[in-house]
Amino acid sequence: MNQYHPLFTNAEARTIKEEICEIGRRVYTKGFAAANDGNISYRIGENEVLCSPTMICKGFMNPEDICMVDLDGGQLAGVKKRTSEILLHLTIMKHRPDVKAVVHCHPPHATAFAVAREAIPQCVLPEIEVFMGEVPLAPYETPGGQEFADTVVPFLKATNTIILTNHGTVSFGKTLEEAYWKTEILDAYCRILILAKELGGITYLNEQKSRELLGLKERLGFDDPRFHLENCDLCGNSAFREGYKAAEAPEPQTCAFEPPPSYPGYLKPPASGSNGSPQVNEALVQAITDQVLAALKG
């Protein structure tokens, strides 16, 4: 292996290696990866990806531990062996050229939903509706191989966060920070859901407020499958039906909570009869934006 590959030793690579180690520390400190769990990657070139090594605690990595692989998983550089689950990261990058960073770990509250195979409720929390939307559950496959990596493919087009059934989560984006905070937001939401169930259950937003949040999301420039699908319930976890069919996997069901209300899809007229576009609450826009910026600053 070439330890002096220019993309492995230049200034950008040194910065990215430090960022991978920092994200590893956050993942470990938050309890998202026990012992040597989890893996992190960043696409630094057309065919080159920096990644965490195998068999190392993510909370104690140093830049010297980071490896570099090609898009087929062959190791190009690094004194340690690359992560055994790198094919998951590379498959995401191949299908989504816009993705530069991938974080895979086992956040306990989100992974509880993965183990229970429980659908993540929608139309409950504004931040989730605006910044995440529906979170699909990829079918289970033994980790490490290409068959495991391929389980996420049917869902990649319409999301940046996927729950891996009986395993954990994977989130991705243009930066390591973005990929990480999607994981943190998801696990915080799952924790809220679990706590709410202990208090008696969750309360769904009504149709008008749900539409307002999607209107806000559209105005902020975020995409959502519900903007494009005619036969997609507003809150019914139905945006990935075709993905589940392609994966030959059953759609996850809401069993631990009351079923979501049945509202017409975003592209259909509201059941309430209102015909205008949802009015965007500027104060709500600012409040949610402030929360996201605060999360990004760590």
Active site residues: 85
For residues 170 and 106, give the distance between their C-alpha atoms in angstroms, rounded to a whole number.
Answer: 9
Tens of each residue's pLDDT in the chain, 298 residues: 667 789 999 999 999 999 999 999 999 999 999 999 999 999 999 999 999 999 999 999 999 999 999 999 999 999 999 999 999 999 999 999 999 999 999 999 999 999 999 999 999 999 999 999 999 999 999 999 999 999 999 999 999 999 999 999 999 999 999 999 999 999 999 999 999 999 999 999 999 999 999 999 999 999 999 999 988 899 988 999 999 999 999 999 999 999 999 999 999 999 855 433 444 556 666 777 677 666 656 5
Q: Where in the chain is the domain with CATH 3.40.225.10?
A: 6-198
CA dist 92 to 160, 168, 180, 188, 288, Å? 10, 16, 15, 24, 28
pLDDT for the residue numbered 290: 73
Q: Which of 140, 287, 261, 137 is nearest to 209 (CA)?
A: 261
**Whole-model pTM?**
0.90
Q: What is the pLDDT of residues 219-266, one digit of tens each?
A: 999 999 999 998 889 998 899 999 999 999 999 999 999 999 999 999
Q: What is the pLDDT of residues 51-60, one digit of tens each?
A: 999 999 999 9
Return the CATH class of domain 6-198.
Answer: alpha beta
pLDDT for the residue numbered 1: 62
Instruction: Tell me which residue has tokens 């208090």.
Output: 199
Q: Are strands 101-105 and 168-173 parallel, antiparallel or unpaired?
A: antiparallel
